[in-house]
Chain A
Amino acid sequence: MTAPAIAVGDLLGKLDAGEPLLVLDVRNAQEFAAWRIEGRRAVETLNVPYFTFLEEPEPVLARLPRNRSIVAVCAEGGSSAMVVELLRDAGLAAVNLEGGMAAYADHLDATRVPLGEPAPPSLELWQVRRRARGCLSYVVRAGAAAAVVDPSRHVAWYEDFVARLGARIVLVLDTHVHADHLSGGRALAERSGAPYAVGASAAAPAATIAALGLRALATPGHTPEGASFVCGGRCLLSGDTLLVGGVGRPDLGGEALAWGRELHRSLHGRLADLDDDVVVLPAHTSGAGEVRSDGIVGRALGALRGLPEFVLEPADVFAHAVAARVVAAPPSYDRIVRANREGTSVPSDVAATWETGPNHCAVRSRPPGASVETP
């Protein structure tokens, strides 16, 4: 007998829509403490490891709700399927999360970002969110041509998405060498026959970039090669230079003060001519609390210009303050940086173990999870 299942995209849709359901996470307590399913709203979650059901399920069954659906979740979907069968035998409305947390970790979804004037109506911008990792990437479409910025390693997803838009990938960009996740940029470019550039590279094809309504700005600081891209004159794909809750961390190269001074120059010099109402769209988010009610992670540049660390002057004071506030580096970041820089192909099961834990790309002004609704 196969337990009835729900796909991860359907579950996240129900959670974001506020449908009342209980997520029953049957992994062990350590794995549950490390990470869990997040929604735009608070997710009602209960952790009862699957082995608890093997000997004395009755006390647990008595605690479970009978007035709403239960979605059982485990690492890969095997143990939760067993629990679902047991719950259904006891008369509870339970379904299994297909593929478990592994499927959740790989799930991407896209939200269209409104551009408006002065962007031409033919220009389309999509924010792609990998919810489990807080990674954000972008698809820019101008007619039949599309660019992908900061793609994750799930290259087939981007190929399908762009094909469904009726476009062809003609350009792949990474704003910088990522430290928290493996880039899909090089692989996607090779498969599409499109040029690929990382950061503010002289190799970047200027004419193609301009044809897609993009303008490149060198914004070193988080990393030396870092770039940001103005899209349609309305949005800034800021990479990890500037995020919705703070500025990028300058310490991952072991030269936090020097890179911090560069970051200050980028924020105050190279972004200076952008209007306050330009919407900053970063490469990472620190959690569901940063997602606006329209589903987008973004914030007006003018609001970010008022952040406490943004206004620190001069550059040395800024650099010292930012360097003093960095948190633990992403796990495996040195291996990830090397693989992204050298273009090494990493098998997906190995990649999944490198890409664990929170991304920690920002030096934050507010605690993660705090609500950010300001556009």
Chain B
Amino acid sequence: MNKTILDVRGAKCPVPIVKAKQALDRLPPGALLEVLSTDAGSVADFQGWAATSKVAVLEAQRTDSDDTGRAIYVHQLRRKD
């Protein structure tokens, strides 16, 4: 299934979740959204948001790194029905 990528690298909170919410609002139910963030605080924030959200399900989180060794926090979300 297609997924939409949201790149918010370099942005600090609240930008990653605000942009993720806007993106999910535009997607159909069941659609996948992958958010790329450099904000370490986003890991716990996405968990907290998804726990009560009416639009987002948090399916997975992982930490990658870019060419410079900078950590990239990847959040996989699904639009709720």
Contact = CB atoms under 8 A, between A and B. Distances in A.
A201 interface: no
Interface residues of B, number: 17
B29 interface: no
Nearest to B48: A28
B80 to A, nearest CB: 11
B3 interface: no
B44 A28 contact: yes
A184 to B, nearest CB: 26
Contact of B44 (A31, A56, A82): A31
Interface stretch (B13-21, B30-38, B60-68, B70-78): B13-21
A30 B47 CA distance: 11
A172 interface: no
Interface of B, helix, strand, loop or mixed by DSSP: helix
B4 to A, nearest CB: 19
B12 A52 contact: no
Nearest to A353: B40
Contacts of A75: 13, 41
B2 interface: no
Contact of B21 (A54, A76, A78): A54
Nearest to B14: A79
A51 B41 contact: no
A50 B44 contact: no
Contacts of A54: 17-18, 21, 49
Contacts of A352: none
Nearest to A82: B14
Question: Which of A30, A51, A54, A76: most chain B CB closer than 10 A?
Answer: A51
A51 B12 contact: no
A323 to B, nearest CB: 36
A31 B40 CA distance: 12
Given A51-B17, A51-B49, A52-B52, A30 B44 contact: yes
Question: Which of B14, B21, B47: most chain A CB closer than 10 A?
Answer: B14
Contacts of B55: 55
A78 B45 contact: no
B71 to A, nearest CB: 13
Contacts of B17: 50-51, 54
B54 interface: yes
Contacts of B48: 28-29, 49, 51
A267 B53 CA distance: 58
A293 to B, nearest CB: 37
B36 to A, nearest CB: 18
A230 to B, nearest CB: 45
A55 B13 contact: no
Given A55-B54, A55-B55, A78 B44 contact: no
B44 A74 contact: no
A51 B45 contact: yes
Interface of A: 28-31, 49-52, 54-56, 74-76, 78-79, 82
Given A28-B44, A49-B48, 17 more contacts: A28-B47, A28-B48, A49-B49, A51-B14, A51-B17, A51-B45, A51-B48, A51-B49, A54-B17, A55-B52, A55-B54, A55-B55, A74-B13, A75-B41, A76-B12, A78-B13, A82-B18
12 contacts: A28-B47, A31-B41, A49-B49, A51-B14, A52-B52, A55-B53, A55-B54, A55-B55, A75-B13, A76-B12, A78-B14, A82-B14
Interface of B: 12-15, 17-18, 21, 41, 44-45, 47-49, 52-55
Top 6 closest A-B pairs, CB basis?
Answer: A51-B49, A79-B14, A28-B48, A79-B13, A28-B44, A82-B14
